[in-house]
Structure 1
Amino acid sequence: MQEPAVPHRTSPSRLAAPVAVLALTLTACGTGGGEDTDARSPGVPAAPARTASGGDVAAGKAVTGKVAEGPGAVTYEVVARKVDVGTEAEAAEAVADAADAEGRVPAVAHLEYTHRGGPALTEGSEVHDAAAVFADGQRGGILVGAPDDAPGCEDPYTVESWKQGESHVFCETYLVPADATSVEVHWSEEDGEPWVWKFPRR
Protein backbone atom coordinates (compact mmCIF):
# COMPACT_ATOMS: atom_id res chain seq x y z
CA MET A 1 0.00 0.00 0.00
CA GLN A 2 1.41 3.38 -0.94
CA GLU A 3 2.16 5.64 1.96
CA PRO A 4 0.68 9.14 1.92
CA ALA A 5 2.87 12.07 1.03
CA VAL A 6 4.59 13.61 4.02
CA PRO A 7 3.86 17.31 4.64
CA HIS A 8 6.79 19.67 4.74
CA ARG A 9 7.87 22.89 6.36
CA THR A 10 7.63 26.06 4.38
CA SER A 11 10.45 27.89 6.12
CA PRO A 12 13.71 28.38 4.13
CA SER A 13 15.72 26.53 6.79
CA ARG A 14 13.82 23.33 6.04
CA LEU A 15 14.96 23.14 2.43
CA ALA A 16 18.53 22.13 3.16
CA ALA A 17 17.70 19.49 5.76
CA PRO A 18 16.93 16.38 3.67
CA VAL A 19 19.98 16.61 1.42
CA ALA A 20 22.65 18.90 2.81
CA VAL A 21 24.31 16.50 5.25
CA LEU A 22 23.44 13.10 3.91
CA ALA A 23 25.40 10.45 5.71
CA LEU A 24 25.60 7.46 3.41
CA THR A 25 25.93 6.92 -0.31
CA LEU A 26 24.80 3.51 -1.50
CA THR A 27 26.17 1.67 -4.51
CA ALA A 28 23.86 -0.37 -6.71
CA CYS A 29 24.27 -4.12 -6.43
CA GLY A 30 24.91 -6.19 -9.52
CA THR A 31 27.41 -8.41 -11.25
CA GLY A 32 30.27 -6.09 -10.39
CA GLY A 33 30.24 -6.96 -6.69
CA GLY A 34 30.37 -4.11 -4.21
CA GLU A 35 32.23 -1.63 -6.42
CA ASP A 36 30.64 1.55 -7.72
CA THR A 37 30.67 0.43 -11.34
CA ASP A 38 28.22 3.06 -12.51
CA ALA A 39 30.63 5.99 -12.44
CA ARG A 40 32.31 6.96 -15.69
CA SER A 41 34.62 9.67 -16.94
CA PRO A 42 33.31 12.38 -19.26
CA GLY A 43 33.13 11.17 -22.83
CA VAL A 44 32.93 7.49 -21.86
CA PRO A 45 29.63 5.96 -23.02
CA ALA A 46 27.27 4.32 -20.56
CA ALA A 47 26.89 0.56 -20.44
CA PRO A 48 24.59 -0.75 -23.16
CA ALA A 49 20.98 0.02 -22.38
CA ARG A 50 18.37 -2.71 -21.98
CA THR A 51 15.24 -2.23 -24.03
CA ALA A 52 12.73 -4.83 -22.79
CA SER A 53 10.14 -3.47 -20.36
CA GLY A 54 10.77 -3.87 -16.65
CA GLY A 55 12.83 -6.01 -14.29
CA ASP A 56 15.94 -5.83 -12.13
CA VAL A 57 18.87 -3.81 -13.48
CA ALA A 58 22.52 -4.44 -12.58
CA ALA A 59 24.83 -1.73 -11.31
CA GLY A 60 25.73 0.85 -13.91
CA LYS A 61 23.31 -0.52 -16.47
CA ALA A 62 21.00 1.81 -18.36
CA VAL A 63 17.53 1.15 -19.73
CA THR A 64 15.57 2.89 -22.46
CA GLY A 65 11.97 3.99 -22.64
CA LYS A 66 9.69 6.47 -24.35
CA VAL A 67 7.97 9.38 -22.63
CA ALA A 68 5.22 11.56 -24.07
CA GLU A 69 6.59 15.10 -23.95
CA GLY A 70 5.06 18.36 -25.17
CA PRO A 71 6.62 18.32 -28.63
CA GLY A 72 6.25 14.54 -29.06
CA ALA A 73 7.49 11.15 -27.85
CA VAL A 74 11.10 11.16 -26.66
CA THR A 75 13.27 8.09 -26.13
CA TYR A 76 15.41 8.31 -23.00
CA GLU A 77 18.26 6.27 -21.63
CA VAL A 78 17.92 6.06 -17.85
CA VAL A 79 20.22 4.88 -15.09
CA ALA A 80 20.01 5.24 -11.31
CA ARG A 81 23.46 6.45 -10.31
CA LYS A 82 23.27 6.41 -6.51
CA VAL A 83 21.08 6.93 -3.45
CA ASP A 84 22.12 9.27 -0.64
CA VAL A 85 20.62 8.21 2.70
CA GLY A 86 20.40 10.64 5.59
CA THR A 87 19.62 10.39 9.30
CA GLU A 88 16.49 10.30 11.44
CA ALA A 89 17.33 13.78 12.72
CA GLU A 90 17.35 15.13 9.16
CA ALA A 91 14.03 13.44 8.48
CA ALA A 92 12.50 15.07 11.56
CA GLU A 93 13.74 18.49 10.40
CA ALA A 94 12.27 17.99 6.94
CA VAL A 95 8.61 17.63 7.99
CA ALA A 96 6.13 19.84 9.81
CA ASP A 97 5.50 17.26 12.54
CA ALA A 98 8.56 15.27 13.64
CA ALA A 99 6.29 12.37 14.60
CA ASP A 100 5.55 11.84 10.89
CA ALA A 101 9.21 10.97 10.31
CA GLU A 102 9.80 8.82 13.39
CA GLY A 103 11.91 5.79 12.47
CA ARG A 104 12.53 7.09 8.97
CA VAL A 105 15.42 8.61 7.04
CA PRO A 106 15.53 10.63 3.80
CA ALA A 107 16.70 8.77 0.69
CA VAL A 108 17.69 10.88 -2.32
CA ALA A 109 17.88 8.93 -5.59
CA HIS A 110 20.03 10.36 -8.37
CA LEU A 111 18.83 9.35 -11.84
CA GLU A 112 20.63 10.28 -15.04
CA TYR A 113 18.45 10.77 -18.12
CA THR A 114 19.91 10.99 -21.63
CA HIS A 115 17.85 12.17 -24.62
CA ARG A 116 18.36 9.47 -27.26
CA GLY A 117 15.64 10.08 -29.83
CA GLY A 118 12.72 12.29 -30.72
CA PRO A 119 12.21 16.05 -30.79
CA ALA A 120 14.29 18.49 -28.79
CA LEU A 121 12.57 19.85 -25.69
CA THR A 122 12.03 23.56 -25.20
CA GLU A 123 10.64 23.40 -21.67
CA GLY A 124 10.58 21.07 -18.63
CA SER A 125 10.49 17.31 -19.13
CA GLU A 126 8.07 14.70 -17.76
CA VAL A 127 10.66 11.90 -17.68
CA HIS A 128 11.22 12.10 -13.91
CA ASP A 129 7.54 11.70 -13.04
CA ALA A 130 7.79 7.89 -13.25
CA ALA A 131 10.65 7.61 -10.73
CA ALA A 132 10.11 6.40 -7.15
CA VAL A 133 12.09 5.11 -4.18
CA PHE A 134 11.26 1.86 -2.38
CA ALA A 135 12.80 0.23 0.69
CA ASP A 136 12.71 -3.52 1.25
CA GLY A 137 10.09 -3.77 -1.49
CA GLN A 138 7.74 -1.12 -0.06
CA ARG A 139 7.27 2.30 -1.61
CA GLY A 140 8.66 5.10 0.53
CA GLY A 141 6.80 8.29 1.44
CA ILE A 142 7.58 11.08 -1.01
CA LEU A 143 9.02 14.13 0.71
CA VAL A 144 6.90 16.90 -0.77
CA GLY A 145 8.77 20.15 -1.27
CA ALA A 146 12.27 18.67 -1.14
CA PRO A 147 14.64 20.83 -3.23
CA ASP A 148 15.16 19.64 -6.79
CA ASP A 149 18.58 21.27 -7.04
CA ALA A 150 20.37 19.51 -4.18
CA PRO A 151 24.12 18.93 -4.70
CA GLY A 152 24.57 16.85 -7.83
CA CYS A 153 20.92 17.33 -8.86
CA GLU A 154 19.25 19.60 -11.39
CA ASP A 155 15.80 21.16 -11.26
CA PRO A 156 13.85 19.41 -14.04
CA TYR A 157 11.57 22.40 -14.43
CA THR A 158 14.42 24.70 -15.43
CA VAL A 159 15.95 22.47 -18.10
CA GLU A 160 15.30 23.88 -21.56
CA SER A 161 16.52 23.15 -25.09
CA TRP A 162 17.18 19.49 -24.25
CA LYS A 163 18.59 17.94 -27.42
CA GLN A 164 19.56 14.43 -28.46
CA GLY A 165 22.73 13.24 -26.76
CA GLU A 166 22.40 15.56 -23.77
CA SER A 167 22.10 14.21 -20.21
CA HIS A 168 20.67 15.60 -16.98
CA VAL A 169 20.56 14.27 -13.40
CA PHE A 170 17.24 14.64 -11.58
CA CYS A 171 16.68 13.53 -7.98
CA GLU A 172 13.78 12.09 -6.03
CA THR A 173 13.58 12.40 -2.23
CA TYR A 174 11.57 9.89 -0.19
CA LEU A 175 11.39 8.90 3.46
CA VAL A 176 12.16 5.23 4.08
CA PRO A 177 12.43 3.10 7.23
CA ALA A 178 15.69 3.67 9.06
CA ASP A 179 16.19 -0.08 9.49
CA ALA A 180 15.66 -0.98 5.81
CA THR A 181 18.25 -3.39 4.46
CA SER A 182 18.04 -2.17 0.87
CA VAL A 183 16.74 0.79 -1.10
CA GLU A 184 15.36 0.46 -4.62
CA VAL A 185 15.00 3.04 -7.37
CA HIS A 186 12.11 2.40 -9.76
CA TRP A 187 11.50 3.99 -13.15
CA SER A 188 9.17 2.99 -15.96
CA GLU A 189 7.98 4.33 -19.26
CA GLU A 190 4.27 4.99 -19.74
CA ASP A 191 2.23 1.78 -19.31
CA GLY A 192 5.46 -0.18 -18.80
CA GLU A 193 6.64 -2.38 -15.95
CA PRO A 194 9.17 -0.73 -13.62
CA TRP A 195 12.90 -1.11 -13.95
CA VAL A 196 14.50 -1.64 -10.52
CA TRP A 197 18.00 -0.75 -9.34
CA LYS A 198 18.78 -2.12 -5.86
CA PHE A 199 21.11 -0.37 -3.43
CA PRO A 200 22.01 -2.55 -0.40
CA ARG A 201 22.67 -0.82 2.90
CA ARG A 202 25.85 -2.04 4.51
Structure 2
Amino acid sequence: MNWENVVLHTRTAWWRAAAPVAVLALALTACDGRDAAGPAAGSGPDGGKSSANAAVATGGRPAEVAGDGVLKPGQSGTGPYREETGKTTYEVAAQKVHVGTEDEAKEMVQDPRDARGLVAATAYVKYTNKGPGVVKGLARVDNGAEIYADGRRGGLLLGTPLDLPGCEDPIDIDDWKVDESHVICQTYMIPKGSRALEVHWGDESAADPLVWKFDDAG
Protein backbone atom coordinates (compact mmCIF):
# COMPACT_ATOMS: atom_id res chain seq x y z
CA MET A 1 0.00 0.00 0.00
CA ASN A 2 1.12 3.54 -0.68
CA TRP A 3 1.88 5.71 2.32
CA GLU A 4 2.74 9.34 2.93
CA ASN A 5 4.60 10.73 5.91
CA VAL A 6 3.36 14.27 6.48
CA VAL A 7 4.55 16.65 9.17
CA LEU A 8 4.02 20.30 10.06
CA HIS A 9 6.60 23.06 9.90
CA THR A 10 7.72 25.18 12.86
CA ARG A 11 10.30 27.92 13.10
CA THR A 12 13.99 27.14 13.09
CA ALA A 13 17.12 29.19 13.71
CA TRP A 14 18.15 28.93 10.07
CA TRP A 15 14.70 29.62 8.59
CA ARG A 16 13.78 32.53 10.86
CA ALA A 17 10.74 33.78 8.96
CA ALA A 18 8.85 30.51 8.76
CA ALA A 19 5.68 29.97 6.79
CA PRO A 20 2.65 29.20 9.01
CA VAL A 21 2.40 25.60 7.81
CA ALA A 22 4.58 23.40 5.65
CA VAL A 23 4.28 19.78 4.63
CA LEU A 24 7.09 17.27 4.30
CA ALA A 25 6.37 14.47 1.87
CA LEU A 26 9.14 12.08 2.82
CA ALA A 27 8.14 9.25 0.53
CA LEU A 28 5.39 7.79 -1.61
CA THR A 29 6.35 4.14 -1.73
CA ALA A 30 4.65 1.58 -3.92
CA CYS A 31 3.69 -1.83 -2.54
CA ASP A 32 6.82 -3.40 -4.03
CA GLY A 33 8.99 -1.01 -2.01
CA ARG A 34 9.92 1.21 -4.94
CA ASP A 35 9.09 4.91 -5.01
CA ALA A 36 6.35 5.47 -7.56
CA ALA A 37 8.03 8.69 -8.72
CA GLY A 38 11.65 7.84 -7.92
CA PRO A 39 13.57 6.90 -4.75
CA ALA A 40 13.08 9.03 -1.66
CA ALA A 41 15.26 10.14 1.21
CA GLY A 42 15.20 8.31 4.47
CA SER A 43 14.75 4.89 2.88
CA GLY A 44 18.43 3.99 2.86
CA PRO A 45 21.11 3.63 5.55
CA ASP A 46 22.85 6.64 7.02
CA GLY A 47 26.42 6.33 5.84
CA GLY A 48 29.47 8.56 5.70
CA LYS A 49 30.29 11.58 7.79
CA SER A 50 27.75 14.12 8.96
CA SER A 51 26.91 16.93 6.55
CA ALA A 52 25.96 19.32 9.37
CA ASN A 53 26.43 22.96 8.48
CA ALA A 54 27.92 22.02 5.11
CA ALA A 55 27.53 24.39 2.18
CA VAL A 56 28.27 23.21 -1.35
CA ALA A 57 28.86 26.40 -3.33
CA THR A 58 30.03 27.26 -6.80
CA GLY A 59 32.72 29.73 -5.82
CA GLY A 60 34.60 30.70 -8.95
CA ARG A 61 34.49 27.36 -10.68
CA PRO A 62 34.67 27.51 -14.48
CA ALA A 63 31.61 26.54 -16.45
CA GLU A 64 32.81 23.16 -17.69
CA VAL A 65 31.00 19.90 -18.23
CA ALA A 66 32.14 16.96 -16.13
CA GLY A 67 33.54 13.96 -17.94
CA ASP A 68 30.29 12.00 -17.57
CA GLY A 69 28.26 14.80 -19.16
CA VAL A 70 26.88 16.05 -15.83
CA LEU A 71 26.91 19.82 -15.36
CA LYS A 72 29.20 21.41 -12.81
CA PRO A 73 27.91 23.82 -10.12
CA GLY A 74 27.01 27.17 -11.64
CA GLN A 75 27.08 25.95 -15.23
CA SER A 76 24.02 26.74 -17.34
CA GLY A 77 21.91 24.30 -19.28
CA THR A 78 18.86 25.02 -21.41
CA GLY A 79 15.50 23.31 -21.59
CA PRO A 80 11.76 23.88 -22.11
CA TYR A 81 9.15 24.08 -19.36
CA ARG A 82 5.40 24.16 -19.83
CA GLU A 83 4.03 27.22 -18.01
CA GLU A 84 0.38 28.25 -17.82
CA THR A 85 1.01 30.71 -20.65
CA GLY A 86 2.69 28.09 -22.83
CA LYS A 87 6.02 26.37 -23.29
CA THR A 88 8.97 28.57 -22.28
CA THR A 89 12.66 27.94 -22.78
CA TYR A 90 14.81 28.54 -19.70
CA GLU A 91 18.52 28.78 -19.14
CA VAL A 92 19.02 27.04 -15.80
CA ALA A 93 22.01 26.97 -13.45
CA ALA A 94 22.10 25.19 -10.08
CA GLN A 95 24.41 27.46 -8.12
CA LYS A 96 24.77 25.85 -4.70
CA VAL A 97 23.17 23.53 -2.16
CA HIS A 98 23.02 24.50 1.50
CA VAL A 99 22.82 21.57 3.94
CA GLY A 100 21.63 22.19 7.50
CA THR A 101 21.94 20.13 10.68
CA GLU A 102 19.82 17.33 12.08
CA ASP A 103 18.93 19.52 15.07
CA GLU A 104 17.63 22.20 12.69
CA ALA A 105 15.62 19.62 10.79
CA LYS A 106 14.00 18.42 14.01
CA GLU A 107 13.01 22.00 14.87
CA MET A 108 11.34 22.36 11.49
CA VAL A 109 8.79 19.63 12.12
CA GLN A 110 6.04 19.16 14.65
CA ASP A 111 7.27 15.73 15.73
CA PRO A 112 11.09 15.59 15.90
CA ARG A 113 10.94 11.85 15.26
CA ASP A 114 9.84 12.58 11.70
CA ALA A 115 13.21 14.21 11.00
CA ARG A 116 15.36 11.61 12.74
CA GLY A 117 18.47 10.98 10.67
CA LEU A 118 17.58 13.73 8.18
CA VAL A 119 18.88 17.18 7.30
CA ALA A 120 17.39 19.91 5.12
CA ALA A 121 19.12 20.65 1.81
CA THR A 122 18.21 23.80 -0.13
CA ALA A 123 19.14 24.18 -3.79
CA TYR A 124 19.69 27.68 -5.16
CA VAL A 125 18.80 27.63 -8.85
CA LYS A 126 19.04 30.55 -11.28
CA TYR A 127 16.47 30.64 -14.08
CA THR A 128 16.62 32.93 -17.13
CA ASN A 129 13.63 33.26 -19.44
CA LYS A 130 14.88 32.72 -23.01
CA GLY A 131 11.49 33.13 -24.66
CA PRO A 132 9.57 33.09 -26.80
CA GLY A 133 7.66 35.58 -24.65
CA VAL A 134 6.78 36.95 -21.24
CA VAL A 135 5.73 34.42 -18.59
CA LYS A 136 2.55 35.82 -17.09
CA GLY A 137 1.05 34.72 -13.80
CA LEU A 138 2.76 32.42 -11.32
CA ALA A 139 5.82 30.75 -12.85
CA ARG A 140 6.10 27.03 -12.08
CA VAL A 141 9.57 26.42 -13.47
CA ASP A 142 11.05 25.80 -10.01
CA ASN A 143 8.77 22.78 -9.59
CA GLY A 144 11.09 20.98 -11.96
CA ALA A 145 14.01 21.07 -9.48
CA GLU A 146 14.79 18.04 -7.30
CA ILE A 147 17.65 17.14 -4.96
CA TYR A 148 19.24 13.68 -4.97
CA ALA A 149 21.56 12.46 -2.23
CA ASP A 150 23.85 9.51 -2.92
CA GLY A 151 21.66 8.57 -5.87
CA ARG A 152 18.33 8.75 -4.05
CA ARG A 153 15.77 11.53 -4.34
CA GLY A 154 15.07 13.52 -1.19
CA GLY A 155 11.69 14.33 0.32
CA LEU A 156 10.29 17.68 -0.80
CA LEU A 157 9.54 20.15 1.99
CA LEU A 158 6.43 22.03 0.90
CA GLY A 159 5.72 25.52 2.17
CA THR A 160 9.30 26.31 3.17
CA PRO A 161 9.98 30.00 3.85
CA LEU A 162 11.00 31.61 0.60
CA ASP A 163 12.74 34.67 2.08
CA LEU A 164 16.01 32.83 2.66
CA PRO A 165 18.97 35.05 1.76
CA GLY A 166 19.38 35.02 -2.00
CA CYS A 167 16.09 33.20 -2.68
CA GLU A 168 13.13 34.79 -4.44
CA ASP A 169 9.46 33.97 -3.97
CA PRO A 170 7.81 33.06 -7.31
CA ILE A 171 4.64 34.78 -6.09
CA ASP A 172 6.50 38.11 -6.25
CA ILE A 173 7.61 37.58 -9.86
CA ASP A 174 5.19 39.29 -12.22
CA ASP A 175 5.43 39.28 -16.02
CA TRP A 176 8.75 37.41 -16.23
CA LYS A 177 10.36 39.06 -19.24
CA VAL A 178 12.70 37.51 -21.79
CA ASP A 179 16.37 37.56 -20.61
CA GLU A 180 15.25 38.30 -17.04
CA SER A 181 16.75 36.06 -14.36
CA HIS A 182 15.57 34.96 -10.91
CA VAL A 183 17.04 32.68 -8.22
CA ILE A 184 14.39 30.35 -6.78
CA CYS A 185 15.08 27.75 -4.10
CA GLN A 186 13.74 24.29 -3.34
CA THR A 187 14.24 22.46 -0.03
CA TYR A 188 14.40 18.68 0.35
CA MET A 189 15.04 16.45 3.34
CA ILE A 190 17.96 14.07 2.79
CA PRO A 191 19.73 11.50 4.99
CA LYS A 192 22.33 12.94 7.33
CA GLY A 193 25.80 11.99 6.20
CA SER A 194 25.02 12.05 2.47
CA ARG A 195 28.22 12.51 0.48
CA ALA A 196 27.25 13.23 -3.13
CA LEU A 197 24.46 15.68 -3.93
CA GLU A 198 22.84 16.27 -7.30
CA VAL A 199 20.28 18.82 -8.46
CA HIS A 200 18.02 17.61 -11.26
CA TRP A 201 15.80 19.90 -13.31
CA GLY A 202 13.39 19.32 -16.14
CA ASP A 203 9.78 19.44 -17.25
CA GLU A 204 7.83 16.38 -16.12
CA SER A 205 7.62 15.30 -19.76
CA ALA A 206 11.39 15.60 -20.29
CA ALA A 207 13.15 12.30 -21.02
CA ASP A 208 16.51 13.49 -19.71
CA PRO A 209 16.64 16.19 -17.01
CA LEU A 210 19.58 18.51 -16.55
CA VAL A 211 21.83 17.27 -13.73
CA TRP A 212 24.36 19.17 -11.61
CA LYS A 213 26.75 17.26 -9.37
CA PHE A 214 27.89 18.59 -6.01
CA ASP A 215 30.50 16.16 -4.72
CA ASP A 216 31.75 15.87 -1.17
CA ALA A 217 28.68 17.42 0.50
CA GLY A 218 29.98 17.03 4.02
TM-score bin, normalised by smaller chain? 0.7 to 0.9
- Give, in whole Å, the separation in 1 of the partners of 2:143 and 2:168: 14
Match of 2:22 in 1: none
Alpha-carbon deviation of 1:103? 1.0
* Structure having the larger proportion of residues in helix: 1
- 1:14-33 equivalences under 5 Å are 14-17=10-13, 19=15, 23-27=53-57
TM-score in terms of structure 1 length: 0.78
- Give, in whole Å, the separation in 1 of the partners of 2:53 and 2:186: 17
> Residues 156, 15 of structure 1: CA spacing in aligned structure 2 closer, same or farther, 3 A cutoff?
farther
Match of 1:8 in 2: 8
> Residues 5, 146 of structure 1: CA spacing in aligned structure 2 closer, same or farther, 3 A cutoff?
farther
- Give, in whole Å, the separation in 2 of the partners of 1:97 and 1:6: 10
One-letter code aligned to 2:213: K
Match of 1:196 in 2: 211
Please, which of 121, 126, 132 is the counterpart of residue 107 of structure 1?
121
Alpha-carbon deviation of 1:16? 4.5
- Give, in whole Å, the separation in 2 of the partners of 1:118 and 1:96: 44
One-letter code aligned to 1:195: L
- Secondary structure in structure 2 of the residue aligned to 1:147: coil
- Give, in whole Å, the separation in 1 of the partners of 2:80 and 2:144: 11
- Secondary structure in structure 2 of the residue aligned to 1:91: helix
Alpha-carbon deviation of 1:119? 1.7
Please say if 1:153 is aligned against 2:167.
yes
- Secondary structure in structure 1 of the residue aligned to 2:74: coil
- Secondary structure in structure 1 of the residue aligned to 2:113: helix
Asked if the contact 1:82/1:109 (under 8 Å) is kept, the reply is yes
TM-score in terms of structure 2 length: 0.73
The ranges of structure 1 where at least 4 consecutive aligned residues each deviate by more than 3 angstroms after the TM superposition are 2-6, 15-20
Q: Deviations over 1:106-144 (max 9, x none)?
A: 100000000011220222101111111110000111112
One-letter code aligned to 1:183: L
Percent identical among aligned pairs is 41
> Residues 16, 151 of structure 1: CA spacing in aligned structure 2 closer, same or farther, 3 A cutoff?
farther
One-letter code aligned to 1:139: R
Match of 1:44 in 2: none
- Secondary structure in structure 2 of the residue aligned to 1:129: helix
Please say if 1:85 is aligned against 2:99.
yes
- Give, in whole Å, the separation in 1 of the partners of 2:151 and 2:3: 13
Asked if the contact 2:200/2:212 (under 8 Å) is kept, the reply is yes
Asked if the contact 1:66/1:190 (under 8 Å) is kept, the reply is no
Asked if the contact 1:72/1:118 (under 8 Å) is kept, the reply is no
Asked if the contact 1:17/1:94 (under 8 Å) is kept, the reply is no
Alpha-carbon deviation of 1:168? 0.4
Which blocks of at least 5 consecutive residues in structure 1 are unaligned?
29-34, 39-46, 50-54
Q: Deviations over 1:28-48 (max 9, x none)?
A: 6xxxxxx5427xxxxxxxx59
Count how many residue pairs are aligned between Structure 1 and Structure 2.
177
Alpha-carbon deviation of 1:23? 2.5
